Amino acid sequence: MISSHNNHPFHNQEEWQTLLSGIRSLAQTEILQRFRQVSFEEKQDGSLLTEADTQMQKHTKAFLQKQWPEFAFLGEEASHDEQVQALESSKGCWILDPVDGTSNFASGIPFYSVSLALAIEGQIIAGLVYDPDRDEMFAARLGMGAELNGEKLVAQTAKTQLKQTSGIIDFKRLSPKMAMHIIEKTPYASQRSFGSVALDWCWIAAGRGHIYLHGSQNLWDYAAGYLILDEAGGQSCTLEGEEVMVAEVVKRSAVCATTPTLFKQWIDFLEI
């Protein structure tokens, strides 16, 4: 676990609760009330954009800038140049995915989330992932542990062998060679792919899945979930064996597990 960054406002419990309750309220208004009444358009990269995405980003940005004007803001729906510029802020930068799992949201599948992280000097020092449908708020502060709806969240499971696990695996973004290695040798008991990267990280932290693999995630997809899993005691790396978190607008692979024992078996299987 990384040592705590000094002098950020969320060491203060009152400010922390202001952040959590503010995002919960915005998500219930801007996202949950639009669920199953969705209109959407297709972005240039083929992904979907809904009114919930644009309105949640707009209102979240306004809320954050009113409460903590010192921090820059990086939203998924901003341009690449704007995102890079925000990350370069010396004071710190919010990183927001207003609706992670937009395809699920637009299809009426209740598995989507809001992901918000605060990066200072390249470190994620606070993060939250909120699931409006289940009213579950996963959150963490650097060096202060992880929580789920205010209760301490510890990554644990009774599973001790890879072959006992449930794997959350996104096959679409893996190389054919890696995908075939997993399919032919099936290292787990069962496999899922849910469609919200941010929630995937949190569900691994909560032991709802035990191992995880994704070939290509954006910074706003994983930043908060990365901190939550780390602070809960779970483990992660990239397919190259590097730390997942980099404060750059680049895509990263992610290999995760709920416990160190399962993580070792998982990376050995993947030959990392």
Spans of the chain, pLDDT less than 70: 1-7, 36-49
- Write down the pLDDT at residue 49: 57
* Rounded Cα gap, residues 236 and 245, in angstroms: 10
Find out whether 112 and 32 touch, Cβ atoms under 8 Å.
no
- Coil vs helix vs strand at 9: helix
* Rounded Cα gap, residues 206 and 119, in angstroms: 23
Summarised one tens digit per residue, pLDDT across range 114-171 is: 999 999 999 999 999 999 999 999 999 999 999 999 999 999 999 999 999 999 999 9
CA 40 vs CA 34, 54, 78, 236: distances in Å: 11, 11, 17, 34
- Write down the pLDDT at residue 3: 45
Which residues does 55 contact at the CB level (< 8 Å), separation at least 6? 30, 34
**Strand-strand pairing, 190-192 and 166-169:** parallel
Find out whether 89 and 72 touch, Cβ atoms under 8 Å.
yes
Helices (H) and strands (E) in the chain, counts: 8, 14
- Coil vs helix vs strand at 8: coil
Q: Classify residue 202 by its DSSP letter.
A: H
* Rounded Cα gap, residues 57 and 197, in angstroms: 18
* Rounded Cα gap, residues 94 and 160, in angstroms: 37
- Token pair 């899993």: residue: 229
Domains with residue ranges and CATH for the chain: 9-153 (3.30.540.10), 162-270 (3.40.190.80)
Q: Classify residue 88 by its DSSP letter.
A: T
Phi, psi of 125, rounded to the nearest 5 degrees: -105, -15
